[in-house]
Amino acid sequence: MADAVNDGEMHIDDDKALAIEATEVVKEIAYAVKFVQISTALPSDKNLIYINITTKENRSICVELSLQGFRVVGSHFNEVNPQCFSQYYETIYSLLDSQSLEYRSTFFETLSKKLLNLRRHSDEDTSDDQMDTK
């Protein structure tokens, strides 16, 4: 089924929504983990996708993305082991925050750098405006 356009808004086909979210997750967390990839070895469908992650601590986990959220399901790539099942997390960020101290450090370090850059640009814009008014 193709994407539908209604009232000027684009709606993503429900069959593709989870796959799109998984692809975005891989892009968004790549800076804060050693490795991340959607599993090609485990079955996936419109309701379930698996993501393999190696944390900065060199810990491998297999994460399930479903309509319930994100949860760890294995301690090795492409592994679904009920003994490893964690609680569901609403976001990949909260899951990683619970699984990796280095993720948390990297996240805050990256956020701090971005905020400093914003402040620098804001200060530059302010000084440019002051020069223009003189």
Rounded to 5°, the CA angle 27-85-74 comes to 60
Summarised one tens digit per residue, pLDDT across range 9-41 is 545 577 899 999 999 999 999 999 999 999 999
The pLDDT of residue 133 is 56
Identify each DSSP E strand in the chain by its residue range: 4-6, 9-11, 35-38, 48-54, 60-66, 69-74
Which stretch of 5-9, 33-37, 111-115 has the lowest confidence by average pLDDT?
A: 5-9
The pLDDT of residue 134 is 55
DSSP assigned state of 107: H
**pTM of the predicted model, to two decimals?**
0.76
Residue 45, SS3?
strand
The pLDDT of residue 126 is 67
Top-confidence residue, 94 or 105: 94
Q: Which fold has domain 4-132?
A: copper amine oxidase-like fold (3.30.2280)
Residue 39, SS3?
coil
Strand order through the sheet with 69-74: 35-38, 48-54, 60-66, 69-74
Whether the per-residue pLDDT at 128 is higher than 80: the answer is no
The pLDDT of residue 1 is 37
Summarised one tens digit per residue, pLDDT across range 62-89 is 999 999 999 999 999 999 999 999 999 9
